Structure 1
């Protein structure tokens, strides 16, 4: 169950981060409310996760999967450029997550 909480936390964080641009610097009410609510719910679920999963492993998965998802959303939906450096960076982050899970999960 902790990993279900973690996946939900990552999904909510990705949604909230995706909404940041729509907040227009937190000047638009409803996108701001959605963004803040997403972050609050994501952190609450992350807090539930770290009761059972080492914080280093949970945070590595949170940041790695979130980074990969946000980079993909940026390219597909926000028309950001896809560069070799961006792809390499995401692959390195994912590699770090895998390494932490192999070496630090037990």
Structure 2
């Protein structure tokens, strides 16, 4: 019985790794690099070194970003492009594609709880 369970778990793990899209992995890696190069100095691990309560965790994004609950990605994109208070605007530093990738990365990490 234990061997059967072990084989089943091994098969599930193997299938999980087999069907991971290489493109998705590359996109995530690229987004993580952009985030680490431009955002992590203030938002390491989804935190905020300047204003502790304004993290990148889902609850804080819901509280502090306008329209986050109706269109999360657009709300994050707006914040990245325009900045606010101590956060600089990145619309002239990052391309539209890079901003979209970072926004998707932040959304994904927030949903996963950083």
TM-score, normalized by the shorter chain, greater than 0.5: no
Pick the structure with more helix per residue. Answer: 1
Which structure would you say has the larger RCO, counting Cα contacts within 8 Å and 6 or more residues apart?
A: 1
Q: TM-score, normalised by structure 2?
A: 0.31
TM value normalised by structure 1: 0.32
